[in-house]
């Protein structure tokens, strides 16, 4: 009996000893097969474009395919839930962002994931402002003119929004900081909202800077301000809302790359370095800057801290506004 027990113990030790170097080896040669990046929105939008852009560069740097999988629904929540439950081996990543990792926590305190504890945040990929635009048929040329009219005529100005988007959050923050009341008209998508905006059915909205540019250039929309803390390269003559008199105002669209919690540290470090290298490539810099996006500070620690601060910011705005999930 003793001999058999000793044999079993020795076998277990040998197996354990074999597993340890194999695990270490799998981390050292990561990646040795294709990597999936979940984009929690349908194909074709800004989130999808950013996800595919970084996937293409990571494929070049790490010599394995990085493949985007679109899992849309509930403002990015469904795809993010899926990623939170994935095996933390580095072969399933998630494109995190303002909607599903900041705004969603303000809308639903009972989410099935916690953006601060259920993910390893590897690095931010992009940020970009919204632009406050008005229909050219309105008399407003400045933020001050808009605010003065809105204060004198509460509820008389209609604006458009898509629920829980960065533009929606920017508008709620703007109303709160400017002390104005305007009437919001909800839309299920940006296409119908833009149609009504161009037709004059609604008078103003916040919209991503890249989507707004062709309409502003053609004179179909007028830009009053950008929502970033600094002026945007696409709109050098358009002031920030901060410049217009509202201290501390900032509302950004942003995204980054994260992984499920439990990701081995060597793999996390390898991915963090690769993402930083990708974002410094001339191809990405040129593409981002030409569309008015900003390459933010790179790295895991600043991105994790940024997500935490954004969740706190938008939870406060949502609570004051009384916004409910749809």
Contact of 183 with 157, CB cutoff 8 Å: yes
Q: What is the CA radius of gyration of the chain?
A: 23
> Cα 229 vs. chain centroid, distance in angstroms?
17
Q: Please, what is the average pLDDT of the chain?
A: 92
Closest among 261, 260, 264 to 29, alpha carbons compared: 264
Homologous superfamily (CATH) for 35-127+253-321: Bordetella uptake gene, domain 1 (3.40.190.150)
Q: What is the largest CA-CA distance in the chain?
A: 95
320: DSSP letter: H
Contact of 193 with 163, CB cutoff 8 Å: no
The DSSP result for 201-232, as a single string, is SS-EEEEEHHHHHHHHHTTSSEEEEESSSS--
- pLDDT, residue 22, reads 40
pLDDT digits (tens, 9 = 90+) for 28-81: 799 999 999 999 998 988 889 999 999 999 999 999 999 999 999 998 999 999
pLDDT digits (tens, 9 = 90+) for 94-127: 999 999 999 999 999 899 999 999 999 999 999 9
Using the predicted structure, report yes or no on whether residue 178 has a pLDDT greater than 50: yes
Residue 1, both tokens: 């009996």
Give the integer Cα–Cα distance in Å for 145 and 242: 15
Residue 322: which pLDDT band, with cuts at 50, 70 and 90? very high
Question: Is the peptide bond between 250 and the residue preceding it cis, with omega within 30 degrees of 0?
Answer: no
Q: How far apart are the first and last CA of the chain?
A: 66
129-226 and 35-127+253-321 share a CATH fold: yes
5: DSSP letter: H
**Looking at per-residue confidence, does 57 or 24 come out higher?**
57
- pLDDT, residue 215, reads 97
Give the integer Cα–Cα distance in Å for 60 and 67: 12
240: DSSP letter: B
Alpha carbon of 217 to those of 137, 198, 214: distances in Å?
16, 13, 5
* CATH match for 129-226 among 3.40.50.2300, 3.40.1280.10, 3.30.540.10, 3.40.190.10: 3.40.190.10
Using the predicted structure, report yes or no on whether residue 132 has a pLDDT greater than 50: yes
Q: Collapsing DSSP states into helix, strand and coil, what is residue 318?
A: helix
pLDDT digits (tens, 9 = 90+) for 9-18: 445 545 455 4
Q: What is the dihedral of CA 54, 58, 59, 63, to 10 degrees?
A: 180
- pLDDT, residue 222, reads 98
pLDDT digits (tens, 9 = 90+) for 186-210: 998 888 999 999 999 999 999 999 9
- pLDDT, residue 21, reads 45
Instruction: List b or e across 139-154, with b for residues whose CB sees 16 or more CB atoms inside 10 angstroms.
Output: ebeebeebbebbeeee
Give the integer Cα–Cα distance in Å for 5 and 202: 80
> What counts of helices (H) and strands (E) characterise the chain?
12, 9
Where in the chain are the domains?
A: 35-127+253-321, 129-226
- pLDDT, residue 55, reads 97
Neighbours of 222 (CB within 10 A): 18
pLDDT digits (tens, 9 = 90+) for 258-275: 999 999 999 999 999 999
Residue that is written with structure tokens 């795809």 in the block:
79
Using the predicted structure, report yes or no on whether residue 20 has a pLDDT greater than 80: no
- pLDDT, residue 46, reads 85
- pLDDT, residue 27, reads 66
Residue 82, both tokens: 């899926």
Contact of 26 with 266, CB cutoff 8 Å: no
Cβ neighbors of 305 (< 8 A, separation 6 or more) are none
In the chain, % helix, strand, coil (3-state, to 5) comes to 45, 20, 35
């Amino acid at each position: 009996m003793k001999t058999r027990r000793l044999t079993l113990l020795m076998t277990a030790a040998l197996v354990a000893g074999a597993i340890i170097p194999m695990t270490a080896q799998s981390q050292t040669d990561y990646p040795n097969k294709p990597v999936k990046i979940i984009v929690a929105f349908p194909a074709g939008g800004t989130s999808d474009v950013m996800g595919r852009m970084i996937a293409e560069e990571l494929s070049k740097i790490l010599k394995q395919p990085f493949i985007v999988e679109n899992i849309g629904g509930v403002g990015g929540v469904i795809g993010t839930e899926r990623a939170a439950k994935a095996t933390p081996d580095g072969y399933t990543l998630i494109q995190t962002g303002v909607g599903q990792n900041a705004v969603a926590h303000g809308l639903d305190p009972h989410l099935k994931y916690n953006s601060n504890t259920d993910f390893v945040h590897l690095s931010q990929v992009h940020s970009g402002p919204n632009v406050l635009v008005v229909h050219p048929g309105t008399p407003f040329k400045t933020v001050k003119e808009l605010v003065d009219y809105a204060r004198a005529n509460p509820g008389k100005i209609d604006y458009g929004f898509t629920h829980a988007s960065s533009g929606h959050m920017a508008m709620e923050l703007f109303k709160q900081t400017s002390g104005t009341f305007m009437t919001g008209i909800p839309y299920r998508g940006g296409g119908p909202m833009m149609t009504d905006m161009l037709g004059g059915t609604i008078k103003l909205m916040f919209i991503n800077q890249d989507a707004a540019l062709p309409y502003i250039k053609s004179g179909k929309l007028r830009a009053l301000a950008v929502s970033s803390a600094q002026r945007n390269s696409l709109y050098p003559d358009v002031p920030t809302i901060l410049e217009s008199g509202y201290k501390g105002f900032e509302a950004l669209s942003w995204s980054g790359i994260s992984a499920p919690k439990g990701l081995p540290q060597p793999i996390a470090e390898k991915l963090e370095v690769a993402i930083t290298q990708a974002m410094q490539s001339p191809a990405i810099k040129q593409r981002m800057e030409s569309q008015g996006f900003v390459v933010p500070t790179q790295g895991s620690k600043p991105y994790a801290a940024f997500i935490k601060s954004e969740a706190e910011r938008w939870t406060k705005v949502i609570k004051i506004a009384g916004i409910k999930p749809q």
